[in-house]
Amino acid sequence: MNEREREEIKRLLKEFVPAAGQTELGRDLWPTMLKRLEQQPIRMPWWDWALLAGVTVLFCLFPGMIPALLYHL
Amino acid sequence: MELLRRFAEGDPEAFEALFRQYQGEVFRWIVRIVRNRAAAEDLTVETFWRLHRAHARFDPARGKWGAWLRRIATNVALDHLRKVRGEVPLLADPPDAPGAHREPGERAELRGQIFRAMESLSPRLRAVVLLALVEEEPYEEIAQALGISVGAVKVRVFRAVRILRKQLLEAGVHP
């Protein structure tokens, strides 16, 4: 492919795909941003879930640990 | 600098000030890649959301705010393109082109073939083509926004143009 072919493709694109360069934002997005910030979910990291799953499995396999654990709490 | 320092420390007022100052710039950058106003508005908010979450990682003394912002915006736009790939005709609604679909006959057909060829590109190649060839952004800025070298941008443009040319030739269009 040479420079001429690149320019030909460029010419075609510019003719049929209008540039969006100066498209202006029509409204203030801060209220939307604020809503998003207020809806911030409480996220648990994956290792917390893994730990919880591990403890649950442990309790299922060795239920005798539950009173022992409660005694030490 | 003071505003950026406060933002990095998690000051919500500094975040709001930065949002108000840069929302237009981020929107304009994203719309050049996704070419859909409504999506670009949502993605502008998503960009600032990611920015807000990552505020502690920004070091105003070392980092360049503009480059960081544009990098996040580009990633958000590319994630969107990957998500909607094949579902939405991405170039069917180019911004600021009223009446674009009313072209008769051959021109409309050619336009359709060009859009289909563009949609066959991967999101990252399409983004580079749009930024480099349609919007005529400097290669340095595209490289910075994508986090790659100028040489890599040139390679992507080359690959994309080759694919587009092949697609158009197969469709009977001789560029």
Say how far apart CA B109 and CA B31 lie, in whole Å.
Answer: 25
Q: What is the pLDDT of residue B111?
A: 85
Statement to judge: residues B17 and B61 lie in one domain:
yes
Does B20 touch chain A if contact means CB atoms closer than 8 Å?
Answer: yes
Is B123 inside a domain boundary?
Answer: yes
Residue of A nearest to B159 (CA): A1
Statement to judge: residues B64 and B132 lie in one domain:
no
Amino acid letter, A38: E
Statement to judge: residues B73 and B112 lie in one domain:
no
Residues sharing a CB contact under 8 Å with residue B81, sequence separation 6 or more, in sequence order = B33, B34, B90, B123, B126, B127
Is B94 inside a domain boundary?
Answer: no
Q: How confident is the model at residue B154 (pLDDT cuts 50, 70, 90)?
A: very high
The average pLDDT across A50-61 equals 90
Q: Count, in order, helices (H) and strands (E) of chain B.
A: 8, 0
Contact A9 B165 (CB under 8 A): yes
State yes or no: pLDDT of B98 exceeds 50.
no
Contact B165 A5 (CB under 8 A): yes
Please write the tens of the pLDDT for every residue from A2-46. Answer: 788 888 899 989 888 888 867 888 899 999 999 999 886 666 778
Last residue of one domain, picked from the residues B88, B110, B140: B88
State yes or no: pLDDT of B133 exceeds 90.
yes
Residues of A with a Cβ under 8 Å from any B Cβ are 1, 5-6, 8-10, 12-14, 16-30, 32-33, 36-37
Statement to judge: residues B80 and B10 lie in one domain:
yes
Q: Between B168 and A40, name the one with better pLDDT.
A: B168
Say how far apart CA A44 and CA A50 lie, in whole Å.
Answer: 10
Q: What is the pLDDT of residue B92?
A: 47
User: Residue B146: how many CA atoms within 13 Å on its side-chain side?
Assistant: 26
Statement to judge: residues B84 and B109 lie in one domain:
no
Statement to judge: residues B72 and B108 lie in one domain:
no
The average pLDDT across B69-91 equals 83
Does B3 touch chain A if contact means CB atoms closer than 8 Å?
Answer: no
Is B96 inside a domain boundary?
Answer: no
Does B109 touch chain A if contact means CB atoms closer than 8 Å?
Answer: no
Last residue of one domain, picked from the residues B60, B88, B116: B88
Amino acid letter, B7: F
**CA distances (Å), origin B4, targets B31, B62, B103:** 25, 11, 48
Contact A19 B134 (CB under 8 A): yes
Shortest CB distance from B97 goes to which of A8, A10, A18?
A18
Q: What is the pTM of this model?
A: 0.78
Q: What is the DSSP letter of A23?
A: P
Structural domain tally of chain B?
Answer: 2
Statement to judge: residues B83 and B117 lie in one domain:
no
Task: Please give the share of chain B, as a percent, with pLDDT higher than 90.
Answer: 58
The average pLDDT across B31-59 equals 92
What Rg do the C-alpha atoms of chain B give, in angstroms? 18
Is B131 inside a domain boundary?
Answer: yes
Say how far apart CA A33 and CA A31 lie, in whole Å.
Answer: 5
State yes or no: pLDDT of B109 exceeds 80.
yes
Statement to judge: residues B140 and B79 lie in one domain:
no
Q: What is the pLDDT of residue B2?
A: 85
Q: How confident is the model at residue B86 (pLDDT cuts 50, 70, 90)?
A: low
The complex's ipTM works out to: 0.77
Does B25 touch chain A if contact means CB atoms closer than 8 Å?
Answer: no
In contact, B66 and B141? CB cutoff 8 Å:
no
Q: How confident is the model at residue A65 (pLDDT cuts 50, 70, 90)?
A: confident
Is B15 inside a domain boundary?
Answer: yes
Domain that residue B81 falls in: 1-88
Last residue of one domain, picked from the residues B58, B88, B118: B88
